[in-house]
Amino acid sequence: MSSMDRFVRWLTGEEGGENPSMGDRSPIRNADGSGLLALETNAEPYGVTVETAEVMPGSRYWRATRVHHLSPQENNGRHHIYIDAVKADGTRAFNTQAHITWEGGEHTATLDKPLNEPAANFPMFKWQKCTVEMQGMPSDKVHGISSSHPDEPNPDGTQSGNTLFHHSFLVIFHEVTAPQPVTTGTIEGRVENSHEGLTVELVQAGAVTASAPVAGDGTFVFPAVEPGDYSVRLGEQSVPVQVQTNGVAQVTLTLAASGSVLEGTVPDGGGLILRLVKDGEILAEGPLGQSGAFRLRNLTAGSYHVQVLRPGQTEPLVISPTLEMDGKNRRTVDLRIPAPAAEKPNEVSAPEEAAAAPASSGSPLAHYVLFSAQDTPAVRQQMAALLPHLAEKGLGFGFDYQEAANAEQVTVIGDGNVIPEFQLIYLSTQGVKVRRLTGTPEEIAAQV
Protein backbone atom coordinates (compact mmCIF):
# COMPACT_ATOMS: atom_id res chain seq x y z
CA MET A 1 0.00 0.00 0.00
CA SER A 2 1.44 3.38 -1.05
CA SER A 3 1.73 6.38 1.23
CA MET A 4 -1.06 8.08 -0.70
CA ASP A 5 -3.29 5.05 -0.22
CA ARG A 6 -2.60 5.17 3.51
CA PHE A 7 -3.42 8.87 3.53
CA VAL A 8 -6.74 8.29 1.75
CA ARG A 9 -7.65 5.54 4.21
CA TRP A 10 -6.73 7.82 7.12
CA LEU A 11 -8.68 10.72 5.60
CA THR A 12 -11.87 8.74 5.06
CA GLY A 13 -11.61 6.67 8.22
CA GLU A 14 -11.35 3.39 6.32
CA GLU A 15 -8.28 2.31 8.25
CA GLY A 16 -9.24 -0.63 10.46
CA GLY A 17 -12.79 -1.08 9.08
CA GLU A 18 -14.74 -2.29 6.10
CA ASN A 19 -17.33 -0.47 3.98
CA PRO A 20 -17.29 2.70 6.08
CA SER A 21 -19.58 5.69 5.59
CA MET A 22 -18.64 9.32 6.01
CA GLY A 23 -21.28 9.84 8.69
CA ASP A 24 -20.07 7.23 11.18
CA ARG A 25 -16.37 7.89 10.57
CA SER A 26 -16.31 11.54 11.60
CA PRO A 27 -13.91 11.88 14.51
CA ILE A 28 -14.96 13.46 17.78
CA ARG A 29 -14.11 17.14 17.59
CA ASN A 30 -13.82 19.90 20.13
CA ALA A 31 -16.09 22.94 19.99
CA ASP A 32 -15.02 26.55 20.29
CA GLY A 33 -16.67 29.22 22.44
CA SER A 34 -19.61 29.51 20.06
CA GLY A 35 -20.45 25.85 20.36
CA LEU A 36 -19.40 25.10 16.77
CA LEU A 37 -16.61 22.77 15.69
CA ALA A 38 -13.24 24.37 16.30
CA LEU A 39 -10.73 24.82 13.49
CA GLU A 40 -7.89 22.31 13.56
CA THR A 41 -4.88 23.38 11.52
CA ASN A 42 -1.17 22.72 11.23
CA ALA A 43 -0.84 24.86 8.07
CA GLU A 44 -0.16 28.27 9.60
CA PRO A 45 3.66 27.83 9.34
CA TYR A 46 3.08 27.46 5.57
CA GLY A 47 1.37 30.85 5.32
CA VAL A 48 -2.20 29.47 5.24
CA THR A 49 -4.90 31.57 6.91
CA VAL A 50 -8.68 31.24 7.30
CA GLU A 51 -11.08 34.12 6.70
CA THR A 52 -14.32 33.63 8.64
CA ALA A 53 -17.57 34.14 6.75
CA GLU A 54 -19.72 37.06 7.87
CA VAL A 55 -23.24 35.74 8.37
CA MET A 56 -26.32 36.67 10.37
CA PRO A 57 -27.07 34.67 13.55
CA GLY A 58 -29.17 31.64 12.70
CA SER A 59 -27.89 31.47 9.09
CA ARG A 60 -26.33 28.34 7.61
CA TYR A 61 -22.84 28.54 6.18
CA TRP A 62 -19.75 26.49 5.37
CA ARG A 63 -17.23 26.53 8.19
CA ALA A 64 -13.62 25.48 7.64
CA THR A 65 -12.94 22.94 10.38
CA ARG A 66 -9.65 21.37 9.27
CA VAL A 67 -6.67 22.62 7.26
CA HIS A 68 -3.97 19.97 7.20
CA HIS A 69 -0.53 20.13 5.59
CA LEU A 70 0.27 16.57 4.56
CA SER A 71 3.33 14.96 6.08
CA PRO A 72 6.00 13.57 3.70
CA GLN A 73 4.66 10.06 4.30
CA GLU A 74 1.05 11.16 3.52
CA ASN A 75 1.97 13.25 0.49
CA ASN A 76 4.45 11.02 -1.35
CA GLY A 77 5.61 13.84 -3.66
CA ARG A 78 2.19 15.17 -4.76
CA HIS A 79 1.13 18.85 -5.06
CA HIS A 80 -2.65 18.83 -4.53
CA ILE A 81 -5.42 20.48 -2.60
CA TYR A 82 -7.74 17.77 -1.29
CA ILE A 83 -11.24 19.01 -0.42
CA ASP A 84 -14.07 17.45 1.54
CA ALA A 85 -17.36 18.80 2.90
CA VAL A 86 -19.73 17.42 5.56
CA LYS A 87 -23.44 18.18 5.81
CA ALA A 88 -25.21 19.05 9.07
CA ASP A 89 -26.25 15.41 9.52
CA GLY A 90 -22.62 14.24 9.41
CA THR A 91 -22.67 12.74 5.91
CA ARG A 92 -20.57 13.81 2.94
CA ALA A 93 -22.02 16.73 0.96
CA PHE A 94 -22.05 15.02 -2.40
CA ASN A 95 -22.33 17.16 -5.55
CA THR A 96 -21.63 20.42 -3.77
CA GLN A 97 -18.94 22.60 -5.31
CA ALA A 98 -15.74 24.21 -4.12
CA HIS A 99 -14.36 27.36 -5.78
CA ILE A 100 -10.57 27.64 -6.10
CA THR A 101 -9.07 30.97 -7.13
CA TRP A 102 -5.56 32.33 -7.67
CA GLU A 103 -4.09 35.39 -9.28
CA GLY A 104 -5.28 35.33 -12.85
CA GLY A 105 -7.41 32.19 -12.66
CA GLU A 106 -10.16 30.14 -11.05
CA HIS A 107 -11.55 26.59 -10.99
CA THR A 108 -14.78 25.01 -9.74
CA ALA A 109 -14.48 21.47 -8.37
CA THR A 110 -17.51 19.23 -7.82
CA LEU A 111 -17.35 17.02 -4.73
CA ASP A 112 -18.45 13.77 -6.37
CA LYS A 113 -15.73 11.20 -5.76
CA PRO A 114 -16.40 7.91 -3.89
CA LEU A 115 -16.19 7.70 -0.14
CA ASN A 116 -12.94 5.77 -0.30
CA GLU A 117 -11.11 8.90 -1.45
CA PRO A 118 -11.30 12.68 -0.87
CA ALA A 119 -14.42 14.22 -2.43
CA ALA A 120 -12.38 16.46 -4.78
CA ASN A 121 -8.78 17.36 -5.51
CA PHE A 122 -7.00 20.10 -7.42
CA PRO A 123 -3.35 19.89 -8.61
CA MET A 124 -1.33 23.06 -8.00
CA PHE A 125 1.44 24.31 -10.30
CA LYS A 126 4.64 26.15 -9.39
CA TRP A 127 4.34 29.46 -7.52
CA GLN A 128 0.55 29.25 -7.57
CA LYS A 129 -1.08 30.56 -4.36
CA CYS A 130 -4.71 29.46 -4.00
CA THR A 131 -7.83 30.37 -2.04
CA VAL A 132 -10.52 27.71 -1.41
CA GLU A 133 -14.15 28.27 -0.45
CA MET A 134 -17.43 26.38 -0.83
CA GLN A 135 -20.32 27.52 -2.99
CA GLY A 136 -24.09 27.48 -2.56
CA MET A 137 -24.11 29.46 0.69
CA PRO A 138 -21.70 31.71 2.60
CA SER A 139 -18.34 30.07 3.27
CA ASP A 140 -15.12 30.54 5.17
CA LYS A 141 -12.18 31.15 2.86
CA VAL A 142 -8.84 29.35 3.19
CA HIS A 143 -6.07 31.59 1.79
CA GLY A 144 -2.42 31.07 0.88
CA ILE A 145 -2.40 27.39 -0.14
CA SER A 146 0.71 26.72 -2.23
CA SER A 147 3.10 23.94 -3.19
CA SER A 148 6.01 26.42 -3.25
CA HIS A 149 7.67 25.43 0.02
CA PRO A 150 11.23 24.23 0.68
CA ASP A 151 12.32 20.61 0.88
CA GLU A 152 11.51 18.70 4.05
CA PRO A 153 14.13 15.90 4.07
CA ASN A 154 13.80 12.75 6.10
CA PRO A 155 15.56 12.61 9.50
CA ASP A 156 18.43 10.70 7.92
CA GLY A 157 18.90 13.45 5.33
CA THR A 158 17.45 11.56 2.40
CA GLN A 159 14.84 13.13 0.13
CA SER A 160 11.26 12.85 1.38
CA GLY A 161 7.81 13.19 -0.15
CA ASN A 162 7.75 16.96 0.51
CA THR A 163 10.10 18.90 -1.72
CA LEU A 164 9.93 22.27 -3.43
CA PHE A 165 6.71 22.42 -5.46
CA HIS A 166 5.60 19.10 -3.98
CA HIS A 167 3.48 19.98 -0.95
CA SER A 168 -0.22 19.11 -0.48
CA PHE A 169 -3.03 20.24 1.79
CA LEU A 170 -6.36 18.83 3.00
CA VAL A 171 -9.26 21.26 3.59
CA ILE A 172 -12.54 20.12 5.21
CA PHE A 173 -15.68 22.24 5.50
CA HIS A 174 -18.74 21.58 7.70
CA GLU A 175 -22.27 22.86 7.18
CA VAL A 176 -23.16 24.75 10.38
CA THR A 177 -25.64 27.30 11.67
CA ALA A 178 -24.32 30.56 13.04
CA PRO A 179 -25.22 30.67 16.75
CA GLN A 180 -27.64 33.17 18.15
CA PRO A 181 -26.06 35.63 20.57
CA VAL A 182 -26.42 34.60 24.19
CA THR A 183 -28.44 37.15 26.15
CA THR A 184 -29.37 35.10 29.21
CA GLY A 185 -27.68 33.45 32.16
CA THR A 186 -28.18 30.36 34.27
CA ILE A 187 -28.81 29.72 37.96
CA GLU A 188 -27.52 26.43 39.35
CA GLY A 189 -28.30 25.53 42.93
CA ARG A 190 -28.34 22.92 45.65
CA VAL A 191 -30.59 22.31 48.65
CA GLU A 192 -28.73 20.86 51.61
CA ASN A 193 -30.73 18.29 53.65
CA SER A 194 -33.11 18.01 50.71
CA HIS A 195 -36.00 15.57 50.57
CA GLU A 196 -38.47 14.46 47.91
CA GLY A 197 -41.16 16.75 46.58
CA LEU A 198 -39.38 20.10 46.93
CA THR A 199 -39.83 22.96 44.47
CA VAL A 200 -37.84 26.20 44.46
CA GLU A 201 -39.14 29.50 43.11
CA LEU A 202 -37.38 32.29 41.26
CA VAL A 203 -38.63 35.67 42.46
CA GLN A 204 -38.02 39.13 40.98
CA ALA A 205 -39.57 42.33 42.39
CA GLY A 206 -41.85 40.26 44.61
CA ALA A 207 -43.31 38.20 41.74
CA VAL A 208 -42.59 34.52 41.04
CA THR A 209 -41.13 34.30 37.51
CA ALA A 210 -40.32 30.57 37.41
CA SER A 211 -40.20 27.41 39.50
CA ALA A 212 -37.97 24.35 39.33
CA PRO A 213 -38.12 20.89 40.94
CA VAL A 214 -35.35 19.79 43.25
CA ALA A 215 -33.73 16.57 42.04
CA GLY A 216 -33.04 13.60 44.27
CA ASP A 217 -29.46 14.75 44.88
CA GLY A 218 -30.69 18.19 45.98
CA THR A 219 -29.75 20.07 42.79
CA PHE A 220 -31.89 22.37 40.69
CA VAL A 221 -31.39 24.71 37.73
CA PHE A 222 -33.03 27.76 36.17
CA PRO A 223 -31.83 27.99 32.53
CA ALA A 224 -32.15 30.97 30.19
CA VAL A 225 -32.74 33.61 32.86
CA GLU A 226 -32.75 37.27 31.80
CA PRO A 227 -29.96 39.28 33.47
CA GLY A 228 -30.97 41.03 36.67
CA ASP A 229 -31.38 40.72 40.44
CA TYR A 230 -33.45 37.84 41.75
CA SER A 231 -34.00 35.72 44.83
CA VAL A 232 -34.38 31.97 45.00
CA ARG A 233 -37.06 30.97 47.51
CA LEU A 234 -37.79 27.69 49.26
CA GLY A 235 -40.55 27.95 51.81
CA GLU A 236 -39.65 30.82 54.11
CA GLN A 237 -35.98 30.80 53.09
CA SER A 238 -34.86 33.22 50.37
CA VAL A 239 -31.36 33.76 48.92
CA PRO A 240 -30.50 36.75 46.67
CA VAL A 241 -28.76 36.06 43.35
CA GLN A 242 -27.55 38.21 40.47
CA VAL A 243 -27.75 36.84 36.92
CA GLN A 244 -25.36 38.10 34.24
CA THR A 245 -25.37 37.54 30.49
CA ASN A 246 -23.85 34.16 29.64
CA GLY A 247 -23.00 33.67 33.31
CA VAL A 248 -23.73 30.85 35.76
CA ALA A 249 -24.81 31.95 39.23
CA GLN A 250 -24.47 29.47 42.09
CA VAL A 251 -27.00 29.28 44.94
CA THR A 252 -27.13 27.12 48.07
CA LEU A 253 -30.12 26.78 50.38
CA THR A 254 -29.96 24.79 53.60
CA LEU A 255 -32.95 23.10 55.18
CA ALA A 256 -32.93 22.06 58.78
CA ALA A 257 -32.39 18.32 59.01
CA SER A 258 -35.80 16.68 59.43
CA GLY A 259 -35.07 13.02 59.89
CA SER A 260 -35.48 12.56 63.63
CA VAL A 261 -37.95 9.94 64.88
CA LEU A 262 -39.72 9.96 68.25
CA GLU A 263 -41.53 6.76 69.20
CA GLY A 264 -42.90 5.00 72.21
CA THR A 265 -45.96 3.57 73.92
CA VAL A 266 -48.61 4.68 76.37
CA PRO A 267 -49.81 1.47 78.07
CA ASP A 268 -53.62 1.43 78.33
CA GLY A 269 -53.55 4.69 76.36
CA GLY A 270 -56.00 3.70 73.63
CA GLY A 271 -58.38 6.61 72.93
CA LEU A 272 -56.32 9.17 74.85
CA ILE A 273 -54.89 12.22 73.10
CA LEU A 274 -51.18 12.41 72.26
CA ARG A 275 -49.79 15.93 71.89
CA LEU A 276 -46.38 16.91 70.47
CA VAL A 277 -44.87 20.16 71.74
CA LYS A 278 -41.70 21.81 70.44
CA ASP A 279 -40.10 24.74 72.21
CA GLY A 280 -43.43 25.46 73.93
CA GLU A 281 -45.49 25.36 70.71
CA ILE A 282 -48.07 22.66 70.02
CA LEU A 283 -47.15 21.04 66.71
CA ALA A 284 -49.68 18.23 66.49
CA GLU A 285 -52.10 16.13 68.51
CA GLY A 286 -54.36 13.18 67.85
CA PRO A 287 -55.92 10.08 69.43
CA LEU A 288 -53.80 7.07 70.29
CA GLY A 289 -54.72 3.70 68.82
CA GLN A 290 -55.72 0.68 70.83
CA SER A 291 -52.14 -0.45 71.35
CA GLY A 292 -51.07 2.96 72.68
CA ALA A 293 -48.07 2.91 70.35
CA PHE A 294 -46.92 6.00 68.43
CA ARG A 295 -44.18 7.01 66.05
CA LEU A 296 -43.54 10.62 65.05
CA ARG A 297 -41.34 11.03 61.97
CA ASN A 298 -39.56 13.80 60.08
CA LEU A 299 -38.81 15.94 63.12
CA THR A 300 -36.39 18.86 62.88
CA ALA A 301 -33.85 19.80 65.52
CA GLY A 302 -35.23 21.24 68.77
CA SER A 303 -36.50 20.53 72.29
CA TYR A 304 -39.66 18.41 72.36
CA HIS A 305 -42.20 17.18 74.93
CA VAL A 306 -44.85 14.53 74.49
CA GLN A 307 -48.06 14.96 76.49
CA VAL A 308 -51.02 12.63 77.04
CA LEU A 309 -54.48 14.07 77.72
CA ARG A 310 -58.00 12.82 78.12
CA PRO A 311 -60.35 13.88 75.31
CA GLY A 312 -61.94 17.24 76.00
CA GLN A 313 -59.46 18.15 78.75
CA THR A 314 -56.60 20.64 78.62
CA GLU A 315 -54.41 19.46 81.49
CA PRO A 316 -52.03 16.63 80.55
CA LEU A 317 -52.20 13.38 82.47
CA VAL A 318 -48.48 12.89 81.93
CA ILE A 319 -45.64 14.88 80.30
CA SER A 320 -42.40 13.39 79.02
CA PRO A 321 -38.99 14.74 79.99
CA THR A 322 -37.39 17.18 77.55
CA LEU A 323 -36.39 15.28 74.43
CA GLU A 324 -33.55 16.86 72.45
CA MET A 325 -33.71 16.03 68.73
CA ASP A 326 -31.00 16.99 66.23
CA GLY A 327 -32.93 16.28 63.03
CA LYS A 328 -31.20 12.94 62.56
CA ASN A 329 -31.48 10.99 65.81
CA ARG A 330 -34.12 8.57 67.15
CA ARG A 331 -35.55 8.61 70.68
CA THR A 332 -37.88 6.22 72.49
CA VAL A 333 -40.10 7.26 75.38
CA ASP A 334 -42.71 5.25 77.32
CA LEU A 335 -45.36 7.20 79.21
CA ARG A 336 -47.50 5.63 81.95
CA ILE A 337 -50.76 7.12 83.04
CA PRO A 338 -50.85 7.45 86.86
CA ALA A 339 -53.74 5.65 88.55
CA PRO A 340 -56.47 7.89 90.02
CA ALA A 341 -55.83 8.70 93.69
CA ALA A 342 -59.15 7.17 94.80
CA GLU A 343 -58.39 3.79 93.24
CA LYS A 344 -55.84 1.12 94.05
CA PRO A 345 -54.31 -0.65 91.13
CA ASN A 346 -55.09 -4.15 92.52
CA GLU A 347 -58.74 -3.25 92.90
CA VAL A 348 -59.28 -2.14 89.34
CA SER A 349 -61.32 -4.65 87.38
CA ALA A 350 -60.66 -4.78 83.67
CA PRO A 351 -63.65 -4.26 81.38
CA GLU A 352 -65.03 -7.43 79.86
CA GLU A 353 -63.89 -6.31 76.41
CA ALA A 354 -60.33 -5.80 77.59
CA ALA A 355 -60.11 -9.35 78.87
CA ALA A 356 -59.88 -10.53 75.32
CA ALA A 357 -57.03 -8.15 74.43
CA PRO A 358 -53.58 -9.71 74.20
CA ALA A 359 -51.10 -9.00 76.96
CA SER A 360 -48.09 -7.48 75.22
CA SER A 361 -44.73 -8.91 76.23
CA GLY A 362 -42.91 -6.82 73.68
CA SER A 363 -43.18 -3.48 71.89
CA PRO A 364 -46.45 -3.17 69.91
CA LEU A 365 -44.35 -1.24 67.37
CA ALA A 366 -42.41 -4.36 66.51
CA HIS A 367 -45.36 -6.34 65.08
CA TYR A 368 -48.97 -5.28 64.65
CA VAL A 369 -51.90 -7.43 63.48
CA LEU A 370 -54.46 -5.49 61.44
CA PHE A 371 -58.06 -6.73 61.30
CA SER A 372 -60.79 -5.39 59.07
CA ALA A 373 -62.88 -2.63 60.63
CA GLN A 374 -66.01 -4.31 59.22
CA ASP A 375 -68.25 -5.81 61.91
CA THR A 376 -69.09 -9.05 60.12
CA PRO A 377 -69.38 -12.67 61.25
CA ALA A 378 -66.24 -13.52 59.29
CA VAL A 379 -64.16 -10.87 61.10
CA ARG A 380 -65.56 -12.00 64.47
CA GLN A 381 -64.63 -15.60 63.66
CA GLN A 382 -61.10 -14.51 62.72
CA MET A 383 -60.65 -12.64 65.99
CA ALA A 384 -62.02 -15.51 68.06
CA ALA A 385 -59.54 -17.89 66.42
CA LEU A 386 -56.54 -15.55 66.63
CA LEU A 387 -56.81 -13.71 69.94
CA PRO A 388 -55.39 -16.57 72.03
CA HIS A 389 -52.36 -16.76 69.73
CA LEU A 390 -51.88 -12.98 69.76
CA ALA A 391 -52.02 -12.94 73.57
CA GLU A 392 -49.53 -15.78 73.76
CA LYS A 393 -47.07 -13.99 71.44
CA GLY A 394 -47.65 -10.52 72.89
CA LEU A 395 -48.64 -9.01 69.56
CA GLY A 396 -50.52 -5.72 69.32
CA PHE A 397 -53.62 -5.64 67.15
CA GLY A 398 -56.31 -3.26 66.00
CA PHE A 399 -58.57 -2.13 63.18
CA ASP A 400 -57.03 1.20 62.08
CA TYR A 401 -54.50 1.05 59.23
CA GLN A 402 -53.14 4.49 60.16
CA GLU A 403 -52.40 3.25 63.67
CA ALA A 404 -50.76 0.20 62.11
CA ALA A 405 -48.41 2.52 60.19
CA ASN A 406 -46.54 3.13 63.49
CA ALA A 407 -45.35 -0.48 63.52
CA GLU A 408 -42.25 -1.91 61.91
CA GLN A 409 -44.12 -4.98 60.62
CA VAL A 410 -47.83 -5.45 60.00
CA THR A 411 -49.67 -8.71 59.40
CA VAL A 412 -52.92 -8.05 57.55
CA ILE A 413 -55.76 -10.53 58.20
CA GLY A 414 -58.11 -11.08 55.28
CA ASP A 415 -58.17 -10.68 51.51
CA GLY A 416 -58.83 -7.58 49.38
CA ASN A 417 -62.55 -7.79 50.04
CA VAL A 418 -62.12 -6.91 53.71
CA ILE A 419 -58.76 -5.04 53.75
CA PRO A 420 -58.74 -2.55 50.84
CA GLU A 421 -55.62 -2.47 48.67
CA PHE A 422 -55.11 1.27 49.25
CA GLN A 423 -54.47 0.54 52.95
CA LEU A 424 -51.60 -1.79 52.03
CA ILE A 425 -50.20 0.82 49.66
CA TYR A 426 -50.38 3.42 52.43
CA LEU A 427 -48.51 1.13 54.85
CA SER A 428 -45.82 0.47 52.26
CA THR A 429 -45.29 4.18 51.65
CA GLN A 430 -44.74 4.60 55.39
CA GLY A 431 -41.85 2.15 55.30
CA VAL A 432 -43.77 -0.68 56.99
CA LYS A 433 -43.05 -4.31 56.15
CA VAL A 434 -46.42 -5.85 55.26
CA ARG A 435 -47.62 -9.42 54.81
CA ARG A 436 -51.17 -10.67 54.28
CA LEU A 437 -52.72 -13.89 55.68
CA THR A 438 -55.83 -15.33 54.04
CA GLY A 439 -57.88 -18.50 54.39
CA THR A 440 -60.19 -19.90 57.01
CA PRO A 441 -59.82 -18.66 60.61
CA GLU A 442 -58.17 -21.98 61.51
CA GLU A 443 -55.73 -21.76 58.59
CA ILE A 444 -54.80 -18.18 59.50
CA ALA A 445 -54.32 -19.16 63.16
CA ALA A 446 -51.96 -21.94 62.11
CA GLN A 447 -49.89 -19.49 60.04
CA VAL A 448 -49.66 -17.01 62.94
Long-range contacts of 126-132 (CB under 8 A, 24+ apart): 126/165, 128/102, 129/102, 129/103, 130/81, 130/100, 130/101, 130/102, 131/100, 131/101, 131/102, 132/81, 132/83, 132/98, 132/99, 132/100, 132/171
Lowest mean pLDDT among 3-7, 57-61, 302-306, 444-448: 3-7
Asked if residue 340 belongs to a domain, the reply is no
Q: Is the pLDDT score of 73 beyond 60? A: yes
CATH number (domain holding residue 203): 2.60.40.10
Residue 274 pLDDT grade (very low, low, confident, very high; cuts 50, 70, 90): very high
The pLDDT tens digits of the residues spanning 278-302 come to: 988 999 888 998 889 999 988 888 8
The pLDDT tens digits of the residues spanning 297-318 come to: 888 888 999 999 999 888 899 9
What pLDDT does residue 345 have? 46
Asked if residue 354 belongs to a domain, the reply is no
Asked if residue 22 belongs to a domain, the reply is yes
Domain region containing 400: 359-447
Q: Are residues 14 and 161 in the same domain?
A: yes
Domain boundary among 177, 212, 245: 177
Whether the CB-CB separation of 79 and 56 falls below 8 Å is answered with no
Share the mean pLDDT of the chain: 84
Classify 25 as helix, strand or coil.
Answer: helix
Asked if residue 34 belongs to a domain, the reply is yes
Q: Is the pLDDT score of 79 beyond 90? A: yes
Asked if residue 344 belongs to a domain, the reply is no
Question: What number is the average pLDDT over the span 131-136?
Answer: 98
Question: What number is the average pLDDT over the span 262-281?
Answer: 91
CATH number (domain holding residue 429): 3.40.50.2300
The pLDDT tens digits of the residues spanning 395-425 come to: 788 888 888 888 888 888 887 677 877 777 7
Q: Among candidates 1, 6, 18, 174, which has minimal Cα distance to 93?
A: 174
Q: Are residues 131 and 243 in the same domain?
A: no
The pLDDT tens digits of the residues spanning 218-229 come to: 999 999 999 999
Residues 6 or more apart whose Cβ sits within 8 Å of residue 181? 57
Q: Are residues 14 and 138 in the same domain?
A: yes
Q: Among candidates 214, 82, 205, 212, which has minimal Cα distance to 142?
A: 82
